[in-house]
């Protein structure tokens, strides 16, 4: 089962894709944010191109687990994706607290320059989010 992972920021959306077996997440690309309608269309194009069967969106919850301002903004995109795909494709949210920080630490430990980190951190964070969801769903199956 191929899944698409999204790390939604204010300016960009990091995108990751699982392999066909749904075992491993791989960074794919970074899309510039263009508004909810355009963002949904971009995700639809990727879903169609790669025969995706589920979309997983990182939910930036507060440390307390509550939805803050950022999470409410992401929820707007999640709702729009769910409405667009309807019964055809499930859209799941996944707690993404610390995903970007964890990826940043790995990239720093790999001695990657700040400029190079900036180019890849969003899609790497999307892969981190998607891998967490894949692992959790494989364990519960």
Q: Which domains does the chain have, with CATH numbers?
A: 3-139 (3.30.420.140)
Helix (H, G, I), strand (E, B) or coil at 3: strand
Cβ neighbours for 23, distance < 8 A, ≥ 6 positions apart = 134, 138
Cβ neighbours for 78, distance < 8 A, ≥ 6 positions apart = 57, 59, 91, 93
What strand order describes the sheet that includes 91-95? 25-32, 12-18, 3-8, 54-59, 91-95
In this prediction the pTM is: 0.88
pLDDT band for 140, please (50, 70, 90 cuts).
low
Rounded to whole angstroms, the Cα distance separating 11 from 33 reads 5
Rounded to whole angstroms, the Cα distance separating 119 from 67 reads 28
pLDDT digits (tens, 9 = 90+) for 7-45: 999 999 999 999 999 999 999 999 999 999 999 999 999
């Amino acid at each position: 089962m191929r899944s698409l992972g999204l790390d939604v920021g204010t300016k960009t959306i990091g995108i990751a894709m699982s392999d066909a077996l749904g075992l491993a997440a791989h960074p794919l690309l970074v899309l510039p944010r263009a508004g909810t309608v355009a963002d949904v269309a971009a995700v639809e194009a990727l879903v169609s191109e790669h025969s995706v069967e589920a979309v997983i969106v990182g939910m930036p919850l507060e440390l307390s687990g509550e939805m803050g301002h950022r999470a409410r903004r992401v929820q707007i995109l999640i709702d729009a994706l769910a409405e667009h795909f309807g019964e055809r494709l499930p859209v799941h949210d996944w707690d993404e607290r610390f995903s970007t920080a964890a990826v940043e630490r790995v990239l720093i430990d790999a001695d990657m320059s700040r400029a190079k980190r900036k180019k890849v951190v969003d899609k790497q964070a999307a892969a981190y989010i998607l891998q967490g969801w894949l692992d959790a769903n494989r364990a519960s199956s």
